[in-house]
Amino acid sequence: MRIGEVSNIVGLDVSSIRFYERKGLINPDRGEDNKYRDYSLEDIECLKQIVLLRKLDMSIEDIKSILVNENSIENMLYVQMKKLQQDRQRIDGSIMLCKKMIDENFDLKDTDAYISYVSEAEKEGVHFPDIMPVLDRISENSRLEYFIGYPFFIKIVNNKFYRRLLAIGLFGILVIFPISEVIFYSIRYKNGIVGFHYLLSWIVYAMFSISCFAGILLKKEKK
């Protein structure tokens, strides 16, 4: 069965199916000419299982461990439920902080006081989001393994620590760098060193670059 037919059956777009294949979750046979993948009924059933497990916000690594029988579905469901409960605690902490800042008419000058509040709240058991899940989302959605390539960098793209470093680098390239250049050329333009067209070109580039990064960060797979 061709990938287009599979896409219609399981409700996933073609890029998502290929993503799961690159991650080793499915391994369809290739035809004699090696041009087209032939998806079996087992592959379709596996994709349906992936869709369901992703609805639980389960990571690719955890899903793979289930599919290759490294971990039982029962154990992983309990593990995932605990993760989701922890996520809910962090969300509740963020909601509480947001409400406090609104009620007290937060001003940017009060940042230190609220950071201290967060530190004290964490000591009392209140949970707040951290940056690591965001880095994981960036590294996964950016499809780093596609751009870096296999097999030479396989250890890097499969290592969570290195993927997070690459995600930080991506943030620097797509966000920090263009913003710094806009500031730099704004100062030079204000001092009459460069023309407005230089500044405008960097503003356009920064908008495009940041939009690309936002698209990566907010990307959701179609289910």
The distance in angstroms from the start CA to the end CA of the chain is 20
For the chain, the structural domain boundaries read 3-67, 78-129, 133-218
Residue 136: pLDDT band with limits 50, 70, 90 = low
Name which of 60, 28, 22, 58 is nearest 45 in CA terms: 28
Q: What percent of the chain has a predicted confidence (pLDDT) above 70?
A: 78
Q: Which of 28-32, 57-61, 101-105, 215-219 has the lowest mean pLDDT?
A: 215-219
* Mean pLDDT, range 93-110, rounded to an integer: 84
Instruction: Encode pLDDT of 144-176 as tens digits.
Output: 555 555 444 555 555 666 666 777 777 788 888
Task: Report the 3 state secondary structure along the chain.
Answer: CCHHHHHHHHCCCHHHHHHHHHCCCCCCEECCCCCCEECCHHHHHHHHHHHHHHHCCCCHHHHHHHHCCCCCHHHHHHHHHHHHHHHHHHHHHHHHHHHHHHHCCCCHHHHHHHHHHHHHHHHCCCCCCCCHHHHHHHHHHCCHHHHHCCCCCHHHHCCHHHHHHHHHHHHHHHHHHHHHHHHHHHHHHHCCCCCHHHHHHHHHHHHHHHHHHHHHHHCCCCC
Between 40 and 149, the higher pLDDT residue: 40
State the pTM of this model: 0.54
45 pLDDT higher than 90? yes
pLDDT digits (tens, 9 = 90+) for 172-213: 888 888 898 889 888 888 888 878 888 888 888 888 888 877
What is the percent of the chain with per-residue pLDDT over 90, rounded to a whole number? 16
Tokens of 153: 């960098």
CATH number of the domain located at residue range(s) 3-67 in this protein: 1.10.1660.10
pLDDT bin (cut points 50, 70, 90) of residue 222 is very low
The per-residue pLDDT of the chain, averaged, comes to 80
How would you classify residue 221: left for phi > 0, otherwise alpha for psi between -120 and 50, otherwise beta? beta
Residues 127 and 86 sit within 8 Å (Cβ to Cβ): yes
Is the pLDDT reported for residue 52 higher than 90? Answer: yes
